[in-house]
Amino acid sequence: MMNVKVGQEIPELVKHPTTRQLVQYAGAQGDFYEIHYDQAYAKSVGLPGVILHGLLKAAFLGQLVTDWLGDRGTLKTFEVSYRGIDQPDHPYRCRGRVTKVDGEEGELEVWGEDEGGRRTTVGMATVRLGG
Amino acid sequence: MRRFAEAIGDPNPRWTKEAPPTFLVALAAASLHLNDAEEFGHSWLNGGNRFEYFEPVLIGDQVTAKGRVVDVYDKAGSSGNLLFIVFETDYVNQRGERVARLRGTMIRR
């Protein structure tokens, strides 16, 4: 792979989710679970308030990878594991690093951090460069 | 697809022709809110998702989602038992080609 080296960190992406975006995402995905837009409901199940959809955080990390990849190749697999909750009105920092390069195949670790630097979502992507 | 790209805040012009990586979750409920599982605990958590891509999904394609539950198990957590439901969804286009597979774990607590 040209210009792709193991250990290389890819350009980070910082997202600024709002409750409005959670409502927009709930509609776009069709996931109307109340913990993502109803403050009273979220608190009734022990949450500090409404929280981001795991799949919205996955979408942010997907953007991180596809922004980096551009038209140089294709995404083969993408997986995320949700380790902690995130609330709107706090920046969400998406980062990634190349962990393996083997011919045209590449592997990246990706993660999303909250303001305290905690990795609330961790994941992996594999890509094929050159088509 | 345009609304999905707007909702995730990804302005890449590529998503006017092709589906962004997590778009397929919008085609069918990825989180199978099974009535029986809702008798357990009080809330849902998403444990994780894994996408495998085989063919691009383009504007104009007709994609069919077929999901199934592949595993159900419980585990002791710090605040009581947790119920795990693992599901798998295959997405097939109008030519019968499998375009993607999604595996996910929903947790009931």
pLDDT for res A131: 54
- For residue B49, give every residue at least 6 positions away whose Cβ sits within 8 Å of its Cβ, in sequence order, or none: A54, A55, A58, A79, A80, B22, B25, B30, B102, B103, B104, B105
Pick left, alpha or beta for residue A89 (phi over 0 → left; psi -120 to 50 → alpha; otherwise beta).
Answer: left
Using the Cα atoms of residue B97, residue B55, residue A123 and residue A45 in order, give the sign of their dihedral.
negative
Of B4, B9, B25, the CB nearest to A15: B9
**By C-alpha distance, which of A49, A45, A24 is closest to B38?**
A45
CA A112 to chain B, closest CA, distance in angstroms equals 13
The answer to whether the beta carbons of residues A86 and A74 sit under 8 Å apart is no
Distances (CA, A) of A95 to A64, B53, B93: 7, 22, 32
Question: For chain A, how long is the longest CA-to-CA vector?
Answer: 52
Flag if B47 and A82 touch (Cβ within 8 Å).
Answer: yes
Residue B75 CB coordination number (10 Å): 9
Residues paired with residue B73 on neighbouring β-strands, in sequence order: B84
Closest residue in chain A to residue B12, using alpha carbons only: A67
CA A6 to chain B, closest CA, distance in angstroms equals 23
- What pTM value is reported for the model? 0.95
Distances (CA, A) of A72 to A7, A64, B4, B87: 19, 14, 24, 32
Which chain B residues are within 8 Å of A45, Cβ to Cβ?
Answer: 42-43
Using the Cα atoms of residue A127, residue B105, residue B28 and residue B62 in order, give the sign of their dihedral.
positive
Q: What b-and-e string marks burial along A83-97, b requiring 16 or more CB atoms within 10 Å of the CB? A: eebbbbeeebbbbbe
The answer to whether the beta carbons of residues B71 and B83 sit under 8 Å apart is no
The answer to whether the beta carbons of residues B83 and B74 sit under 8 Å apart is yes
CA B29 to chain A, closest CA, distance in angstroms equals 7
The answer to whether the beta carbons of residues A122 and A81 sit under 8 Å apart is yes
CA B93 to chain A, closest CA, distance in angstroms equals 17
pLDDT for res B39: 81
pLDDT for res B33: 60
ipTM of the complex: 0.95
Return per-residue pLDDT of chain A as tens, 131 residues: 557 899 999 999 999 999 999 999 999 999 899 999 999 999 999 999 999 999 999 999 999 999 999 999 999 999 999 999 999 999 999 999 999 999 999 999 999 999 999 999 999 999 999 85
Instruction: Please indicate whether residue B33 or residue B34 has the higher confidence score (pLDDT).
Output: B34
Size of interface A-B (CB pairs under 8 A): 96
Which chain A residues are within 8 Å of B47, Cβ to Cβ?
Answer: 81-82
* Amino acid, single-letter form, for residue B85: I
Flag if B21 and A62 touch (Cβ within 8 Å).
Answer: yes
pLDDT bucket at B41, cuts 50 / 70 / 90: confident
Flag if A66 and B31 touch (Cβ within 8 Å).
Answer: no
pLDDT bucket at B29, cuts 50 / 70 / 90: low
